[in-house]
Structure 1
Amino acid sequence: MATSSPLTTEAPAGDAFYTPPVPLPDGSPGDPIRARPLDNAAAAVPGGENWLVLHRSEGADGSPVATSGVIALPDRTAHPVPAGGYPVISWAHGTVGVANRCAPSRDRGDTGASPMNA
């Protein structure tokens, strides 16, 4: 993901990032809605580049919803992108609560998600 990505051009700062557009853009679960560089050290994976992403998902009833996550890339100067790209590893956090502040991408170091994220 490059900083010139169209996903970054209108990504709101702060907690406004997490408010999805209404209606959600068309797409499938996993499609990005917006992304920006992660500016939250407590949620960042050290040693690389971290992006905050809001993407489409599905609610329990199958309706479209927006969820957040972090994309962590290795340091590309030390680990150039291999042919075919980097392998993808997906980590889903365990149950730490259903409040917005429990989401790993919103971890500020003082939430129920903090010990699990560390």
Structure 2
Amino acid sequence: MTVLSMYKSFRTQFPKITKKADVEHIRLWGEVNPECAYSWFGSLANVLNYEMVVSSAENDYKSLFEFFRSSYLNGESEVRDCIDVSFVENLFFNVPVEKVAPFWDTFPDVLKQLYVRFHGRKPTY
């Protein structure tokens, strides 16, 4: 799996959140272009951060988190790097700790390890 194939697969499997991420990506970068798939996953993380603040439906994101867990475990090094740097490192930013907790609980362990390795701790904003 490449970053581009992961991008295309995600867009097919999660059309509702994809539309929101496209809006965010256009706000930040001016357009949505598959050639910018790596940075698009950072825009997706921004949208999920907002969703965590306004929603308590952490179970709605289990399949999305599972998508990234599976992609990380089965992807090429560029896929693992994209998930780590563009998605996981940007997740949980400015989300109050009481809102983070239920999402963190459903976050796969392998992705938690990436987050903690980068930030030095679990999210506590």
Both structures adopt the same fold (TM-score exceeding 0.5): no
**Bigger Cα Rg:** 1
Relative to its length, the structure with more helix (as a share) is 2
From the two aligned structures, give the one with the greater strand fraction: 1
